[in-house]
Amino acid sequence: MPLPPAPPTVLVEMIFPDQANHYGTLFGGHALALMARAAFVAACRRAAGPVVMARSERVDFATPIRVGEMLELRAEILREGRSSLTVAVRGIAQPIGPGAPRPALDGQFVMVAVDADGRPRPLSSAI
């Protein structure tokens, strides 16, 4: 029997200078790491155990995220396979103070549930 839809996982990150590039905006590598973390948390919750990343799919950077802004990452399960999950991650940038939130990042990650030996395991099997 399939599980009911999982609620989105939401992580909020404040962007500090050590995460920025020379333009004063979030460095792309840090953005990918934050997105991967959100996908990991969502997939671990759904898989009820450890997961590993098998693939990062298309990631779009819509707008720069400046130092001092917050980045809200929303991760949602799009697809469940036998042992894998596809997780969509959307990032919304939010200035501190006045200013409207704006879409900033969008991507998908394929995560695989693994057993204690790191081998794929069915999503339905508890650890």
Please compute the mean of the pLDDT values over residues 30-38 and round it to a whole number.
97
For 5-47, give the DSSP string.
Answer: PPPPEEEEEE--GGGB-TTSBB-HHHHHHHHHHHHHHHHHHHH
**Portion of the chain with pLDDT greater than 70, in percent:** 94
Q: How confident is the model at residue 51 (pLDDT cuts 50, 70, 90)?
A: very high
CATH number at residue 59: 3.10.129.10
Please compute the mean of the pLDDT values over residues 18-25 and round it to a whole number.
97
Q: Is 127 inside any structural domain? A: no
Q: Is 118 inside any structural domain? A: no
Range of the domain at 31: 9-113
Per-residue pLDDT of 71-113, as tens digits, reads 999 999 999 999 999 999 999 999 998 999 999 999 999 999 9
Q: Is 19 inside any structural domain? A: yes
Q: Is pLDDT at 125 greater than 80 in this prediction?
A: no
User: Total domain count for the chain?
Assistant: 1
